[in-house]
């Protein structure tokens, strides 16, 4: 399994030779800590200090990951009028050697105690489960509390239970990311769609590459 750790490190190391291209047009400054670590790794590599070079690359990867998570936080929707939003949280969902998927989420609280969580997961194992569920609904047809629709060209699955005042909306984005919106104490399913529309969609898709 250790050899898989080299995959993201190698990909990052390949960027060392094209620093100018990576910086241009991305808002990344020459003094960015990730680039500093990459430059140190390049110098150490040339000196034959491979272990030290790997350590610098790991530090660079940590900085890049932090920047990625921060960027994902910024695509989360603002709270609707009268609602309050908690602090965004981020966490890895799969190890780096399996792709390094991340989860970013935020909890929103409504004026009457409603609670809605919006989460964006990249490269999550849950994506296949949701795709299977969407396929089942497509084949068997929509039932009672389930609605299948398209949002920005992607299949979206909405489940709402009025008696329990809860619901969930899932959208698989290009097979690479999953948007999950869960609501409790809500009176209508359209509230979930309101949060979905608040996501900075184009920016999210761009971050997924």
- pLDDT tens, residue by residue, 174-189: 888 899 999 999 999 9
Q: Where are the domains of the chain?
A: 2-72, 77-207
Please state, in angstroms and rounded to a whole number, the distance separating the CA atoms of residues 80 and 150. Answer: 23
Helical packing angle, 2-14 and 33-46, nearest 10°: 100
State the residue for tokens 């690359």: 57
Helical packing angle, 2-14 and 50-73, nearest 10°: 80
Q: Average pLDDT in the 147-167 region?
A: 93
CATH number of 77-207: 3.40.1000
Residue 25, pLDDT > 80, answer no
* Token pair for 181: 């919106």
Instruction: Give the pLDDT score at 140.
Output: 65
- pLDDT tens, residue by residue, 47-100: 999 999 898 888 888 788 778 778 888 999 999 999 999 999 887 765 554 445
């Amino acid at each position: 399994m250790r050899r898989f750790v080299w995959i993201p490190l190698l990909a990052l190391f390949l960027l060392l030779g094209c620093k100018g291209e990576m910086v241009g047009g991305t808002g990344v400054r020459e003094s960015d800590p990730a680039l500093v670590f990459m430059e140190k790794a390049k110098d150490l590599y040339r000196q034959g200090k491979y272990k030290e070079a790997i350590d610098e690359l790991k530090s660079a990867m940590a900085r890049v990951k932090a920047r990625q998570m921060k960027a994902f936080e910024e695509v989360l929707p603002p709270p609707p009028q009268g609602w309050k939003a908690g602090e965004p949280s981020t966490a890895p969902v799969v190890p780096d050697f399996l792709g390094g998927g991340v989860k970013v989420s935020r909890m929103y609280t409504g004026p009457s105690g409603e609670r809605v969580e919006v989460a964006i997961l990249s490269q999550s194992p849950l994506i296949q489960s949701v795709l299977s569920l969407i396929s089942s609904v497509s084949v068997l047809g929509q039932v009672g509390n389930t609605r299948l629709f398209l949002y920005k060209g992607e299949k979206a699955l909405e489940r709402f239970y009025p008696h329990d005042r809860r619901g969930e909306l899932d959208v698989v984005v290009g097979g690479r990311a999953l948007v999950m919106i869960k609501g409790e104490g809500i009176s209508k399913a359209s509230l979930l769609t309101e949060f979905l529309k608040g996501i900075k969609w184009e920016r999210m898709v761009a971050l997924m590459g």
